[in-house]
Amino acid sequence: MINHTELLQLLADTESDRVERTVSVKNMDKFSEAICAFSNDFPNSKQPGYLIIGAHDKTGDIADVSITDELLKDLASIRNNGQILPQPALTIQKFSFPEGDVAVVEVFPSPFPPVRFKGRVWIRSGPTKAVANEAEELRLSEKRTSNAKTFDVTPCPGSTIADLNMTLFLNTYLPGAIDQETLEKNHRDIKQQLASLRLYDITFDCPTYAGILLLGSAPRYYLPGAYIQYVRFAGVSLESPVLNQMEFSGDIISLMHQLDHFVRNNIEKRLVSVSTLREEVQVSYPDRAIRELLNNAVMHRNYESNAPVKFYEFDDRIEIANPGGLYGSARPDNFPNQNDYRNPVLAEALKILGYVNKFNRGIATAKAELVANGNPEPRFEYSMPLHFSVTIYKKRMGDLTGT
């Protein structure tokens, strides 16, 4: 974080490509474009960029604007609202001077460019920002390759572009990831388009593991554990007879659609008669809570493991377990308030596809849905480094019948 002296120096340097000043306090799109551009760090300064709200752009003089708590909250929400992908890393400070207050958003370079805001790649070009052209975006992609650290962005040895469903990419994923104007100007070949979204590795000339998982015709050929195992037990233990079992597999786009349909139509619902003229449907488990927790398992699991995600339904509860414990900065002492991403490209994809509304909200949303439905508090198990599970308990029979 910077101090008052450093801030004054930044205000005075009106030609810096690491600083953007504005007197606007309501233009969230403008703020997001600036944050996106600083995240991309096109000049490769490897230093933070600064969005300064409350100062004149041309002179750097502090303006007399009101920096409210609401504005600071709105700025903080940019990190998690999913409009900038991959998720930016930033801090926010408020500074007070005799001339007035300013808000400073410090934005750190992303290790996984290109970063997009609403499907567009913004970069800094001297003291101004602009939408990146194809050559500039390619440079950012090359920089990302050298920084690749997570499993999902690494190349999948032995795979080829023939392993990917191009119809699914062109008709479903690409229009959600890139804005229409950019698509209309796009003259890159299909491999470069895939690479710009971290789904293909140009250097190794093969899909990344994220590409195989999202678009692969047979992901389990390369990743044997890439499926969800559902079992319905006729009892409360693993020794109980099995009533039904299924496997959900294939590309994640299709898999998530299968799961949505299955949860809506197959998880037990109970019809309760309220009067002779009206009936009300109450549910053992709220659909959305189950889907949020399954989304979480798909997003955060360790795909290097050969074990599947387990989705087990008992008479009294549902258990969802995935290989891979808490990751990165997420630890037992700060869960679920702190999040991190083992698979950042998959997390981005689930946001693009609409399965995630805001980052770091899945657990909270599931808990809220369970409380609203009258279910007991869910139980999380995350003390083991290679395993994560959640148990949600069935709404009690008396609550369902009103007795």
pLDDT digits (tens, 9 = 90+) for 12-41: 888 888 999 999 998 999 999 999 999 999
Do both 316 and 236 map to the same domain?
yes
Do both 333 and 358 map to the same domain?
yes
Q: pLDDT by residue (tens digit) across 134-160?
A: 888 878 877 776 666 788 999 999 999
| Euclidean distance between CA atoms 231 and 138, whole angstroms | 45
Note whether residue 156 is domain-resident: yes
Least confident of 117-131, 210-224, 238-252: 117-131
| Euclidean distance between CA atoms 13 and 356, whole angstroms | 40
Note whether residue 25 is domain-resident: yes
Print the SS3 string covering 147-211. Answer: HCCCHHHCECCCCCHHHECHHHHHHHHHHHHCCHHHHHCCCCCHHHHHHHCCCEECCCCEEEHHH
Residue 195: domain span:
148-222
- What is the 3-state composition of the chain as percent helix, strand, coil, each rounded to the nearest 5? 35, 25, 40
Residue 10's contacts (CB-CB under 8 Å, 6 or more residues apart) are 2, 16, 18, 19, 50, 52
Do both 251 and 186 map to the same domain?
no
Residue 97's contacts (CB-CB under 8 Å, 6 or more residues apart) are 4, 62
Asked if residues 50 and 106 have their Cβ atoms less than 8 Å apart, the reply is yes
Compute the Cα dihedral for 40, 44, 46, 47 and give only its sign.
Answer: negative
Least confident of 239-248, 271-280, 352-361: 271-280
Residue 307 backbone zone (phi > 0: left; psi -120 to 50: alpha; other: beta) = beta
Q: Tally the domains of the chain.
A: 3
Note whether residue 308 is domain-resident: yes
Do both 233 and 360 map to the same domain?
yes
Do both 318 and 363 map to the same domain?
yes
Do both 74 and 88 map to the same domain?
yes
Percent of the chain having pLDDT more than 70? 95
The pLDDT of residue 145: 63
| Euclidean distance between CA atoms 403 and 399, whole angstroms | 7
Do both 81 and 177 map to the same domain?
no
Average of per-residue pLDDT across 83-91: 90
Residue 83 DSSP class: S
The pLDDT of residue 334: 83
| Euclidean distance between CA atoms 92 and 98, whole angstroms | 20
Average of per-residue pLDDT across 308-335: 90
* pTM of the entire predicted model: 0.72
Do both 281 and 355 map to the same domain?
yes
Q: Distance between terminal CA atoms of the chain? A: 58
CATH of residue 123: 3.30.950.30
Do both 307 and 390 map to the same domain?
yes
Average of per-residue pLDDT across 215-225: 96
